[in-house]
A and B are shown apart, each in its own frame.
Chain A
Amino acid sequence: MGIASEALKDFKGFTMKNIPSVEPLSPGHRACQGCVEILALRLALKAIGTNVIVASATGCMEIVTSPYPQTAWRVPWIHVAFENAAAVISGVESAYKVLARKGRISPEDKVVFLGYGGDGGTADIGLQALSGALERGHDIVYICLDNEAYMNTGIQRSSSTPYGAMTTTSPPGKKSIGQTTWKKNVPAIAAAHDIPYVATASPAYPLDLMNKVKKAAMVPGPAYVHIFSVCPTGWRHPTNIAIEVAKMAVATNVFPLYEVIDGKWILSRKNPKPKPVVDYLKMQRRFAHLTEEEIEKIQARVNAEWEALLERCGEKKEPAPEGAEPSGE
């Protein structure tokens, strides 16, 4: 049995009945209305509880939670820079390890070491620090809050911005369709480090998200959770449909939910009847300029990626049984 499977063998998930009432990330922060990134962070923290130390990358979630002298954090939190949350939390974890060994802190209660960053801070500028931290095997949880662009600096493209999306540095025009490259697959990059636990999650499926974060916190060694973090401000859609947008991303297979436990890929949701991708794209103005041809191209890419994922998960290509849902729902 692998490290993660061993640690998770008696795993008990959250249910609607026992969602923790604790709020380590308090209300009263300054995120935009309808921000799903802050919701993702809140749910992740609820799943972990208060015995945690958090290292934040620069980005929306840092700015909106910590304008001095206010703080939305009820747990110890440190922000250092844009690209180094993974390295900072590695340092914190190393310190705890040696201080416990030397008897300078009590080793009893297991502290969770959580680093998080946006997709820019994870997929681009912070990828090196993340890779280093995963490779060295620190007992940390790293969460990427993927809102598919650099939102804090005003909606610039990242390597996690999907093909065709409009951002302020991938504007559509006579000679461009917007973002010209396909989204970088960071969860697969994380999994390629052979770490015990990798998962994708979405706040549209809050129990699934919380259970995955809880698992990430339980496994020894590095764990990576990639969370789809809808941003009405950057994606250009009404704030009240943010969760519907997130649901549609899963329903169309644009953002599939899965886990990689000890290297074994497992679908969280089999999605027998995927909706057409256009249903997802048309909800958001960042895709409003796309032609039918481009939309077909995106659909083809989504199909291909889904097939590849099914194969990785060892799933047959026939439709899965009705009603397969993410765990805990």
Chain B
Amino acid sequence: MGRRVGMEVSIAAAEAVALIDVDVVAAYPITPQTHIVEHLSELVANGHLDAEFVPVESEHSAMSVCVGAAAAGARTFTSTSAQGYALMVEICYIASSMRLPIVMVMANRAMSAPISIWNDHADMMLARDTGWIQTVAENGQEVVDLLIHAYRVAEDHRVLLPVIVNLDGFILSHVIEPIELPSKEEVQKYLPPYKPALRLDPKNPVTMGPVGVPEIYTEAKKAQDEALKNSKKVIIEAWEEFAKHFGRTYRPVETYKCEDAEVILLLMGSIAETAMRAVDAMRARGKKVGLARIRLFRPFPVEELVSTLKNARTVAVIDRALGFNGHVGPVCAEVKSMLFDHGLTPYVWNYIAGLGGRDVTVENFIEMVDMVEAKAAKKEPMGYEIINVRE
């Protein structure tokens, strides 16, 4: 049986990795993910987890060790943030191209400079085009559950892709929350042992990572793209199975009071809990406001978002990173192009919020809704705006 605990979310993430019974952990410290690898090192040291704990000399080697270990047939875990991710990103492209089911937690943090250890989504955006599946957690329970789900998806032979489970640094990683930790047996029932499709084995030699000449490179990339697109049905199926095993239901996009909403706030991560309170406050004033949260960021949940947004007149997309293209933030850019493809023309305004750990409050969300309605009424050209800037 599972147990209910009050636990720091990072510690719970490490406990989940132990329940998953990973074989190899590659570890390199960076705030705010450090508690995860620290706790894993303890779990290995005290015998709770039988894994090789590889305390590497850099994140570049962390991901390289993961690639080697996964290619050799081991269930593999690592965890990082921001600058650490930037150092490993070269190998992250390779991990997904080689179709290795590595799972990583990214405790999201702002990118330097100026150096900031606090939360935003710049690192998640850096991971956006690497071909990894990415999920985004709202709370500690989701971190645990998405981790268990991640291995089930990654190792499915119809998928074989690496997965990042994103969680907001500090805001989520360092809070103590009530969490239901399943038992090892329950996890095992849901998550069969890793059976690699191919592995490095002298008894059956294979060549992995050869040169891709122009005659085959495009085909290799097309195959990878299709694998990522096709993963969505397995991701959803694995969530449905998850509900059967653990009683908690997950879907690619989570909605709150969206059915009749005229204005929809669209965002990712733990600020959804604050936004929900703002929605309640505005509903109490009679405003038809809803909230949509992207849980599955890669592959992008196009159908789910389209069906969520199709009746909204106004949408406020909240990005927690800049796109540096001069007209829109990264998530909003994807939302807009998707709406265009589906002939939907709501008024969309983009707020960039919470950069480098800046608080986003209930009042902020209320202001965003008020402002976006005013802009829509005046038919202002659509654009973006960084909120909470001290002038």
Contact = CB atoms under 8 A, between A and B. Distances in A.
Contact of A74 (B52, B201, B205, B208): B205
Given A78-B207, A98-B50, 8 more contacts: A66-B209, A75-B202, A76-B208, A78-B200, A91-B24, A92-B200, A95-B69, A98-B52
Interface in B58-99: 58, 60-61, 64-74, 76, 90-91, 94, 98
B61 A129 contact: yes
Contacts, number: 163
B1 interface: no
B207 A91 contact: no
Contact of B50 (A80, A102, A105, A131): A102
Interface in A126-182: 128-129, 131-133, 135-136
B53 to A, nearest CB: 9
A180 to B, nearest CB: 29
In this complex, the member of B60, B209, B216 whose beta carbon has the largest number of chain A beta carbons within 10 angstroms is B209
Interface in A82-127: 83-84, 87-99, 101-102, 104-105, 109, 111
Contacts of A95: 23-24, 52, 68-74, 76
Interface string A43-64: 0000000111101000000110
A51 B202 contact: yes
A interface bracket (residues with beta carbon within 8 Å of B): 35 or more
Interface string B149-165: 00000000000000000
B212 interface: yes
A275 interface: no
A69 interface: yes
B64 A129 contact: yes
A79 B60 contact: no
A268 B211 CA distance: 38
Contacts of A69: 216
Contacts of A74: 205
A99 B72 contact: yes
**3 tightest A-B CB contacts, nearest first:** A91-B68, A132-B57, A87-B64
Contacts of A93: 68
B61 A94 contact: no
26 contacts: A50-B202, A66-B210, A68-B213, A76-B201, A76-B207, A77-B206, A78-B71, A81-B94, A84-B61, A84-B91, A87-B60, A87-B61, A88-B65, A88-B67, A90-B56, A91-B54, A91-B65, A92-B71, A94-B65, A94-B68, A95-B71, A96-B72, A105-B73, A111-B202, A132-B61, A135-B57
Interface residues of B, number: 44
Contacts of A132: 56-58, 61
A67 interface: yes
A16 B225 CA distance: 53
Contact of A91 (B51, B58, B66, B94): B66
A109 to B, nearest CB: 8
Contacts of B98: 80
Contacts of B73: 95, 99, 104-105
A120 to B, nearest CB: 16
A66 B206 CA distance: 11
A87 B208 contact: no
A96 B90 CA distance: 25
A95 B204 CA distance: 17
Looking at A90, A91, A111, A129, which has the most chain B CB atoms within 10 Å of its CB?
A: A91
A53 B72 contact: yes
A52 B202 CA distance: 6
A73 B205 CA distance: 8
Please indicate which of the listed interface residues B23, B210, B213 has the most CB atoms of chain A within 10 Å of its own CB. Answer: B210
Nearest to A138: B54
B23 A102 contact: yes
Contacts of A94: 24, 52, 54, 65, 68-69, 74
A224 to B, nearest CB: 16
B23 A92 contact: no
A81 B89 CA distance: 12
A219 B211 CA distance: 32
A102 to B, nearest CB: 6
Nearest to A56: B209
A95 B196 CA distance: 13
A132 B67 CA distance: 16
Contacts of A135: 57
Nearest to A96: B72
A84 to B, nearest CB: 4
B208 A91 contact: no
Interface string B15-30: 0000000011010000
Contacts of B61: 84, 87, 90, 128-129, 132-133
Contacts of B26: 91
A319 B54 CA distance: 47
Nearest to A24: B205
